[in-house]
Amino acid sequence: MKTLHDIEHINWELLAKYLCDEASDSERQEVETWAGQSGTNTATLKKSRELMQKAALWYETRHFDTQTAWNQITRRTEASPAIIPLQPTPDKGIAFRRLLRVAASLLLAITLGTAGYFIGFRQHKPAVFTEVITNDNQVVAGITLPDGSVVTLNRNSALTYPKTFSGNIREVSITGEAFFEVSPDAERPFVIKAGSAEIKVLGTSFNVSAYPEAESVDVVVETGKVQVSCNGKSENTACNLILTPGERGTLSNKELILVKSVNADLNTSAWKTRQLVFEETPLTDVISVLEKVYFVNIQLADPALRDLVLTANFNNQPVDFILDVIRLTFSLELTSMNGQYYLTGKKTS
């Protein structure tokens, strides 16, 4: 597990430096990373930019008196205890742009700072986001979110969620794969950012696979209804699907094309439940499922073994038991070495 640290108050001066094109490369990267963490942050940056543009236009059309401006800013900030006013330098020749940037930082804070739930930059104060990360051989179950929703996180995955859900949506983000059991709340949709996809639900259970290296994001619904759309394009009907139980939504990361289909994979959630169902399944596909569920490596020594098909059900059985069943079913030989399994045809004399 890993905790992502942020602060509850935005560094307004840094934001103003960014909007005034005075930020360094590292500062610009910091602001842009922060803005991409949530829709709230993106909206804050957009609103700040609009406010700065209006302020710049106002100053361009009026004579600018630095001392009067400082007096106005000081009076206003003294009335706002959450903001510490910066003191002007005694140099009356202070650059207009420098003053505008500092004044802008205070103006942004005063205008936008009343929304205390906005997430800030990560080098200061307490954590408001939690990030759960799994390694190559780990599944984390029972992750309980602030609203009571429960998430199971597959290996090599990451889930990021806030300390509290505020506003009119419950938003989290994932990379990798996770199974969600969302608590119903008709007033606040549950929104998941998953790669190039956005998934919106009110209360349901479903599986999301969004590994960065994969060609697509896959959503399979178990109960309820799920809306899947291209990230940021939920109003575009060509990039928007409603999925019901048993349906799969596949979003191509490259073309941003959404396709709905019947989920034919009986083992979509087997990584979570370890309940495996094989119905005339090619042995190569059986092995792919076993490797994903049990974090093992299995080799078929003879290419001809790929044509074998298996029909069997397993309920939370160890991988050695399953491989032994396969060995007996097809009269194969099973060996293991350095954590790797080998299936070979029996030698005939």
Domain 129-262: which CATH class? mainly beta
Q: Which of 34, 232, 2 is nearest to 118 (CA)?
A: 34
What are the domain boundaries of the chain? 12-112, 129-262, 274-345
- How far apart are alpha carbons 195 and 247 in whole angstroms? 20
Q: What is the pTM of this model?
A: 0.61
CATH numeric code, 274-345: 3.55.50.30
* Alpha helices (runs of H) in 83-204, residue ranges in sequence order: 96-112
Q: How many helices (H) and strands (E) does the chain have?
A: 8, 18
What is the strand order of the sheet 340-345 is part of?
297-300, 340-345, 332-337
> For each of the chain's 349 residues, which pLDDT tens digit applies?
333 234 334 666 777 777 777 778 788 878 877 777 766 677 677 777 767 665 555 444 444 454 554 455 445 444 433 333 333 444 444 444 554 555 555 455 444 443 333 334 444 444 478 889 998 888 999 999 999 999 999 999 999 999 899 888 999 999 999 999 999 998 899 999 998 899 999 889 999 999 999 999 999 999 999 999 987 665 556 688 999 999 999 999 888 889 999 999 999 999 999 999 999 999 999 999 999 999 999 998 888 888 899 999 999 999 999 999 999 999 999 998 877 999 998 765 5
Pairing of the two strands 216-223 and 158-162? unpaired
